[in-house]
Amino acid sequence: MVVQYPIKRWDPVQFSSSKLAIFPMIYIEPDAEFISYIRKNNYKITVGIEGTGKSYDGRKLRGTVDRSSVTPSCRPNYYVKTGLYVITLEAPWEGYPLPTSLGRIELLDMDGLPAGSPQQPPPIKDTPPTKAGAPAVSPTHSPTHKGLNLPWILGILGGIGAILITLILLSNRKSSHG
């Protein structure tokens, strides 16, 4: 039995751990079979894509599945409202399909055959190759990355600097009035 899901949305995403790589992220509405499949496969997935009118069509791609509440935009209310899951595909970003042809995915087993009895997937490579000259996409955030990335560090240092300047100005003002 072929199991297909319509793609509800496409977005480019860049994770801080992937340097300049930009990946396609698709949103789907899961059912119990989909949830069971991803749990058995440790939230790794292989899908076939059709109906986008882009180079994604006819390809078998691996990806990682998350609830839309743990994506780089970190919008828990969006997930509660929509219930959508996201699949970050291990492929270079090729651009948005037309809004009238977002396409659909077909669940495949890890060998690229239609899903029947999912097996434990092999480890998936962290960073696939990208096209030269790919546009930069923000924000950079990884839902599984633990630690601070450069924008966070710069923001913290800027905040500390502003506090120090304020304290110095206040102490100078106090000493000149006292």
CA distances (Å), origin 148, targets 16, 28, 107, 142, 158? 10, 30, 35, 10, 15
What is the reported pLDDT for 176?
Answer: 67
Q: What percent of the chain is modeled with pLDDT above 70?
A: 62
Global pTM value: 0.57
For the stretch 109-146, pLDDT in tens is 755 555 554 344 445 444 444 555 444 444 444 444 45
Per-residue pLDDT of the chain (178 residues; tens, 9 = 90+): 578 999 999 988 887 665 668 889 899 998 888 888 888 888 899 999 999 999 999 999 999 888 655 444 555 556 667 788 889 898 889 999 988 999 999 988 755 555 554 344 445 444 444 555 444 444 444 444 455 567 777 778 888 888 888 888 888 877 666 5
| Amino acid 51: pLDDT | 95
Closest residue by Cα to residue 88 from 127, 146, 145, 40:
127
Q: Are 144 and 126 in contact (CB under 8 A)?
A: no
pLDDT at 39: 87
Domain boundaries, the chain: 4-108, 148-178
pLDDT score recorded for residue 121: 40
Structure confidence at residue 124 (pLDDT): 46
Would you state the pLDDT for residue 168?
86
Token code pair at residue 78: 């969006």
